């Protein structure tokens, strides 16, 4: 399976010379798994992904972590949605089924010139089972509830070749009123995962002003990876105010922390265009 980052930023897109290295588009992850096209979130990064997929007529399965704007705002610019005969399946867990309409409702006047009913592709909601899971041929997709205002889902994608997890907009140690999944439950969910992509938006010194916003401290994310015995961790959903030099420094600190505690975990920073290849539980970065 091949995992490619098209958008790695949180909250709002950024565009400056200081964010060129890691990229400024909001959340969008593309995975080609056993001949299936899986897309996770439709932030502004999905526009370029759409350009890359216009000549590929396979069905697209689009999974949403939740429907906050930075995770849906790119969909109106997703070219496959305007292709006749194209099939796009929308999926989400731990959210009211009717709320998936938010993806199209954002295209209503006066917010966008092309209304959602003008989309030419066949766009439909694909149901999960009662346990909020789905089987796509030989791909097993399981979910877990996010600790985030309004709810949402983390996804674990597993085949005979390997397994990765996509967990964004998740506060690992939230206020008790926002707790849906405990630390111990996250460790259980992540057992056997070869590649973990996890929200790592804030620094410890920023906690007092952001506690309860639904995002993890970077220190919490690397601790979770250590506790869950993750071999490969990708830090994701970067603060829009964080520039390339700051992300470089954070990455170095995280890598040093892992070495200090003898954790067998490779830590990388999510970067637009990076490709992770998972084969027989081995992860390579291209």
Domain that holds residue 44: 2-285
Question: Strand 28-33 to strand 2-7: parallel, antiparallel, or no bridges (unpaired)?
Answer: antiparallel
Q: Residue 263 has which token pair?
A: 């954790």
CATH number at residue 274: 3.60.15.10
Q: Residues 6 or more apart from 121 whose CB is under 8 A from it?
A: 80, 81, 82, 83, 84, 85, 86, 87, 88
Q: Residues 6 or more apart from 210 whose CB is under 8 A from it?
A: 202
In this predicted structure, what is the pLDDT of residue 129?
Answer: 63
In this predicted structure, what is the pLDDT of residue 260?
Answer: 95
The residues pairing with 187 across neighbouring beta strands, listed in sequence order, are none
In this predicted structure, what is the pLDDT of residue 281?
Answer: 79
| Dihedral sign from CA coordinates of 270, 239, 29, 74 | negative
Q: Residue 194 has which token pair?
A: 């070869």
Question: CA-CA distance, 269 to 199, in Å (whole number)?
Answer: 11
pTM of the shown model: 0.96
Question: Strand 139-145 to strand 134-136: parallel, antiparallel, or no bridges (unpaired)?
Answer: antiparallel
Domain count across the chain: 1
Nearest to 190 by CA among 165, 219, 215: 165
Compute the CA torsion angle 191, 195, 197, 202 (nearest 10 deg): 80
Q: Residue 34 has which token pair?
A: 């056993």
Nearest to 76 by CA among 50, 110, 95: 50
The residues pairing with 135 across neighbouring beta strands, listed in sequence order, are 140
Task: Identify the residue whose tokens are 């009662």.
Answer: 130
Does residue 241 contact residue 257 with C-beta atoms inside 8 Å? no
The residues pairing with 90 across neighbouring beta strands, listed in sequence order, are 62, 125
In this predicted structure, what is the pLDDT of residue 92?
Answer: 87
> What is the pLDDT tens value at each position of the chain, 286 positions in all?
999 999 999 999 999 999 999 999 999 999 999 999 999 999 999 999 999 999 999 999 999 999 999 999 999 999 999 999 999 999 888 887 778 778 888 998 898 998 888 899 999 887 666 668 899 999 999 999 999 999 999 999 999 999 999 999 999 999 998 899 999 999 999 999 999 999 999 999 999 999 999 999 999 999 999 999 999 999 999 999 999 999 999 999 999 999 999 889 999 999 999 999 999 879 999 8
**What string of H, E and C letters represents the secondary structure of 43-70?**
CCCHHHHHHHHCCCCCCEEEEECCCCHH
In this predicted structure, what is the pLDDT of residue 60?
Answer: 97
């Amino acid at each position: 399976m091949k995992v490619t980052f098209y958008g790695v930023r949180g909250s709002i897109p950024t565009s400056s010379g200081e964010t060129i290295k890691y990229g400024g588009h909001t959340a969008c992850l593309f995975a080609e798994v056993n001949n299936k096209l899986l897309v996770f979130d439709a932030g502004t990064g999905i526009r370029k992904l759409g350009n890359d997929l216009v000549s590929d007529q396979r069905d697209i399965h689009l999974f949403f972590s939740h429907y906050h704007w930075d995770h849906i705002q790119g969909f109106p610019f997703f070219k496959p949605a305007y292709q006749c005969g194209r099939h796009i399946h929308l999926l989400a867990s731990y959210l009211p089924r009717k709320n998936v309409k938010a993806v199209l409702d954002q295209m209503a006047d006066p917010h966008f010139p092309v209304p959602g009913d003008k989309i030419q592709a066949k766009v439909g909601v694909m149901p999960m089972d009662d346990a909020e899971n789905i089987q796509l041929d030989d791909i097993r997709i399981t979910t877990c509830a996010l600790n985030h205002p309004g709810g949402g889902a983390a996804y674990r994608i597993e085949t005979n070749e390997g397994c990765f997890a996509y967990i964004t907009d998740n506060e690992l140690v939230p206020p008790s009123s926002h707790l849906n999944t405990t630390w111990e439950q996250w460790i259980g969910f992540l057992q056997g995962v070869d590649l973990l992509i996890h929200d790592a938006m804030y620094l410890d010194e920023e906690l007092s002003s952001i506690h309860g916003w639904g995002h993890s401290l970077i220190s919490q994310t690397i601790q979770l990876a250590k506790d869950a015995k993750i071999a490969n961790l990708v830090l994701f959903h970067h603060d829009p105010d964080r520039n390339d030099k700051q992300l470089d420094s954070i990455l170095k600190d995280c890598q040093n922390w892992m070495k200090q505690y003898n954790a067998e975990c490779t830590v990388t920073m999510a970067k637009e265009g990076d490709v992770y290849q998972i084969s027989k539980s081995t992860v390579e970065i291209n």
